[in-house]
Structure 1
Amino acid sequence: MRKIIGFTAIVALLAGCGIDRQAKELRALEKCRYEFVSADSVLLAGTDVNKLIANGRVDVSRLPGVAMGFLSRDIPLSGVLNLRITNPTNNLAGIQQFAYKIEVEGREILDGTSELPIEVPAGETVTVPVRLKTNVYKFLSDGQTLKKLLAFIQSARDGATDEKVNLTFNIKPTLALGNKQINYPGYIRVDKQVDAHFLVKNGLIPTTR
């Protein structure tokens, strides 16, 4: 499911400023289909998250880097989220830069900015690496959401759950108007229900079996 807020207004603004190319590319981007593929090299306070799970350790609060991060309110998370984008239109779809937010069960867990341009030719599918680099202190301080997510990860690792988790990826394009940049007034939403099969299939969670 994708939802655009204020799309007509921003396209009209771009056209009025004589930037027809950006208007066409943004309009095509709105019509694209989005799919989560995988996540690579995810590090939490310098520790490989996948290795933690493989070792059966999901209590991240006991990691030295995380423990220190709670004191400084700065717990870094980095990695790469691979997003598959299919452009069904006859026009090039693209943006030069965008801000993003990722939510789990409606709770924001991280946000950031990607400066890697996205271009999806007409009728083609492209896998885009979105580099993640953010402070997840606020998320890890949310005991209720964190507890549910860790329980899901443990059950998925043991192959003992059919439960699904709602994951949302929000994209806010940044547009160039002369020498200025303006933020898109709304978000392109990519919603997906993630189950244990998806996580194991894409190597996000190693199983014990």
Structure 2
Amino acid sequence: MRNIIAGIFLLSALLMSCGIGSQVDRLKALEQCSFGFQSADSVYLAGNDVPKLISRGEAGLLANPSLVLAMLQRKIPFKARILIQVLNPGQEEAGISAFEYKIMIKDVQLAEGYFDKPLVVKPEGGTTLVPVKIDTDLYPVLSNSRNQKAIADFLSQQTEQIAVVTLKIKPAFDLGEKKINYPGYIDISREISNRQLKSFLAAR
């Protein structure tokens, strides 16, 4: 979220004049927050429980008959629920009223959606958990054999492997009964290892 301040200052005059300055202050405070992946549950690929696939050594797409069938049908539904922890070390309350989001690994978009509940993080070490749902078709990603191998290797390797996951959010400000969208997305990136991912999946 390093670029958030520049965008906020460009909008501050307009937003202050609209009477939503406190929302701008909370968004500024959100820039100082740290974000981490707390857990992942209800993770299914083409109807298969992903942790069970991994535990049986079936991380490769062609290791499971139902995944092969899904590939032939050109549709591989992927569903998951991710809990993101937001920690506020600052002195001011942080938050936004709502936001659009996208989840990316490298340049590949895994999911997009809209979180329509206020996000509020208390100051001085306050934390909150944000549930983000993924419901997408991974066929465009997994139809590429290189992507298949990269994912299988990441999940099956005993040595630590690192991937960068990016959460892109577009905040919204309340103005009466209307919402004003932030121009563009704010990127929140974090490295995650295959060991961490497996521990997230195991903590269901």
The CA deviation string for residues 29-58 of structure 1, in whole angstroms up to 9 with x for no partner, is: 122111122211112233211111112112
Matched-pair contact (CA < 8 Å) for 1:35–1:190 = no
- State whether residues 20 and 173 of structure 2, in contact with CA within 8 Å, keep that contact through their aligned partners in structure 1: no
Judged with a 3 Å threshold, the aligned counterparts in structure 2 of structure 1 residues 74 and 83 are, in CA distance, closer, same or farther, namely same
Partner of 2:194: 196
1:53 and 2:68 correspond: no
Return the letter of the residue paired with 1:128. Answer: V
Would you say the 8 A contact 2:172–2:181 is kept in 1? yes
Normalising by structure 1, we get a TM-score of 0.80
The one-letter amino acid paired with 1:181 is: K
Tell me: CA distance 1:14–1:183, structure 2 relative to 1, closer, same or farther (3 Å): same
The runs of 5 or more residues in structure 1 that have no matched partner are: none
The reply to whether residue 111 of structure 1 matches residue 109 of structure 2 is no
SS state at 2:78 partner: strand
**Which has the higher mean CA deviation after the structures are superposed, 19-28 or 4-13?**
4-13
Letter in 1 for 2:153: A
Sequence identity percentage: 37
Instruction: Go from structure 1 to structure 2 and tell me whether the alpha carbon gap of 1:36 and 1:11 turns closer, same or farther (over 3 Å shift).
Output: farther
Following superposition, the deviation at residue 117 of structure 1 comes to 2.8
8 Å CA contact retained: 2:39, 2:200? yes
* Deviations, residues 116-149 of structure 1 (Å, cap 9, x unaligned): 3311111212222222223333322344334212
SS at match of 2:90: coil
Alignment of 1:178 onto 2:176: yes
CA distance in 2 between partners of 1:27 and 1:41 (Å): 33
Contact 1:109 1:136 in 2 (8 A): yes
Local SS of the residue matching 2:57? coil
Q: How many pairs are equivalent? A: 200
Unaligned runs of 5+ in 2: none
Q: 1:79 offset after TM fit, Å?
A: 1.8
Compute the displacement of 1:59 (Å). Answer: 2.9
TM-superposed deviation, 1:66: 7.3
Q: Secondary structure at the match of 2:160?
A: coil
C-alpha RMSD over aligned residues:
2.7
Over 3 Å counting, the alpha-carbon distance change for 1:142 and 1:92 in structure 2 is farther
Q: Determine the C-alpha separation between the residues in 1 that align with 2:138 and 2:188.
A: 21
| Distance across 2 between alignment mates of 1:162 and 1:186 | 34
TM-score, with length taken from structure 2: 0.82
Counterpart code for 2:66: P
Does the CA contact (< 8 Å) of 1:11 and 1:27 recur in 2? no
